[in-house]
Amino acid sequence: MKPAVLLLPLRIARTRIPHVSTFTPRPLIVVLNAASGRHDDEDDAATTIGEVLRAAGRPHELRPVADAAALDATTRQAAQDARASGGVLVAAGGDGTLNAVARAALEEDVDYGVIPRGTFNYFARAHGIPTDTGQATRALLDAVVEPVPVGFVSGRLFLVNASVGLYPETLDVREEQKQRHGRSRPVALWATLLTVLQGHHPMQVRLERDGREVELSTLTLFVGLNPLQLEQMGWDGTPVERGRLAAIVLKPVSTPRLLWLLARGALGRLPSAHGVDSFTFSQLTVAPLSRAVRRLKVATDGETTFLAPPLEFELSPQPLKLLKPRMVADGQAS
């Protein structure tokens, strides 16, 4: 007789295998304009950005640009690298730098971050991005991507505004004064005053707005989409939320009257002032009445250039994929 076989329950030890995350934070490729910002913090910006990102363990590359002529080439390469690595293209600088980097981000269809270092920082402030370098860098770490509308004038992108006439002349004078006295809001206001006192000549133009055409004389045509700047100027509501841009046309006036209008603008009462026309549009064409005019000085986000007429203003059909601080994005969604 065979011995009985004792069957014991087999206990299999269950070893807990720790969960290992395969998530790798997307790299931040930061294009830093070394000429932007105030003189006392220019040298510290790169250090601050690097310290914040290293402390957070965030992969990043810092690409400083000391020569403005190299900005476009550096930005294009950075955008291509961001696309190849699945990273984020970040602009660190003033409105002009933000514009150049945003253009590359739009072309390469990559996410776009901002570390503002300019004088007014309208774009950053309108989207709740801190103007302090360290705080803005930290805000990128858990930011949320949201689509943001941008504008074009004859194929040239703008984030805040675009204009023709007296305003671009003011920007050129501002640049001259900045080289002498540094970058600040008082210098910007002083440049505006100097431009007005130097004299001004109206432009004779034809406007075609949403299928309607009109001929007029104007000192400057200002087109904006930034809600913060438009609100400060006295605009009621945000046209861009309805898929439209806002325009202000300044009629020919005397120098004292022009100074008075500028004062009204500073007080947030410009669109309703006598001597000012304001309207919204989805598409606007601007052409000089004289065929002898072969080019027009145009300002986009604080940078001037010459473009051949007619000028075509419109919203971009493709939004910019902006990284907004999480608290700001959550507040807008609620």
Does 308 share its domain with 323?
no
Task: Read off the tokens for 333.
Answer: 């969604």
Assess contact for 275 and 253: CB atoms under 8 A: yes
Q: Average of pLDDT values for 114-123?
A: 92
Does 325 share its domain with 256?
no
Does 223 share its domain with 131?
no
How many residues are there in the chain?
A: 334
Helices (H), 86-165: 95-108, 122-126, 133-139
- Domain with residue 293: its CATH number is 2.60.200.40
Residues in contact with 189: Cβ distance below 8 Å, sequence separation at least 6, in sequence order:
none
Give the pLDDT confidence score for residue 122 in this predicted structure: 93
Range of the domain at 257: 158-163+201-315
Phi-psi region of 208 (alpha: psi -120 to 50; beta: other; left: phi over 0): beta
Q: Does residue 1 lie in a domain region?
A: no
Assess contact for 271 and 233: CB atoms under 8 A: yes
For all residues of the chain together, what is the average pLDDT?
Answer: 83
Does 142 share its domain with 222?
no
Does 128 share its domain with 236?
no
- Domain with residue 42: its CATH number is 3.40.50.10330
Per DSSP (E only), the strands in the chain are 28-33, 60-65, 88-93, 111-116, 144-148, 151-153, 156-158, 161-165, 203-209, 212-218, 220-224, 245-250, 276-281, 283-288, 296-300, 303-307, 311-315, 320-324
Does 246 share its domain with 311?
yes
Q: Average of pLDDT values for 166-172?
A: 69
Q: Does residue 4 lie in a domain region?
A: no
Q: Average of pLDDT values for 218-237?
A: 88
Pair type for strands 111-116 and 88-93:
parallel
- Tell me which amino acid residue 317 is: P
Q: Does residue 120 lie in a domain region?
A: yes
Q: Does residue 118 lie in a domain region?
A: yes
Confidence of residue 167 (pLDDT cuts 50, 70, 90): confident
Q: Does residue 242 lie in a domain region?
A: yes
Does 329 share its domain with 270?
no
Single out the residue of 192, 274, 265, 275 nearest to residue 235, CA to CA: 265
Q: Does residue 41 lie in a domain region?
A: yes
Q: Residue 263 pLDDT more than 80?
A: no
Helices (H), 31-94: 42-55, 71-85
Confidence of residue 328 (pLDDT cuts 50, 70, 90): confident
Q: Residue 136 pLDDT more than 80?
A: yes
Does 33 share its domain with 143?
yes
Does 55 share its domain with 145?
yes
Assess contact for 302 and 94: CB atoms under 8 A: yes
Q: Residue 251 pLDDT more than 80?
A: yes
CA torsion, ordered 111, 51, 328, 323, to nearest 10 deg: 0
Q: Does residue 191 lie in a domain region?
A: no
Does 143 share its domain with 215?
no
Helices (H), 182-334: 185-197, 227-233, 255-266, 326-333
Q: Residue 202 pLDDT more than 60?
A: yes
Q: How many domains does the chain have?
A: 2
- Please provide residue 73's backbone torsions phi and psi, each rounded to the nearest 5 degrees: -65, -45
Assess contact for 250 and 166: CB atoms under 8 A: yes
Give the pLDDT confidence score for residue 253 in this predicted structure: 76
Single out the residue of 191, 142, 102, 93 nearest to residue 328, CA to CA: 142
Does 133 share its domain with 241?
no
Give the pLDDT confidence score for residue 329 in this predicted structure: 66
Residue 63 CA to residue 267 CA, distance in Å, equals 40
pTM of the model: 0.83
Does 287 share its domain with 324?
no
Which DSSP category does 108 fall into? H
| Element spanning 184, H or E | none
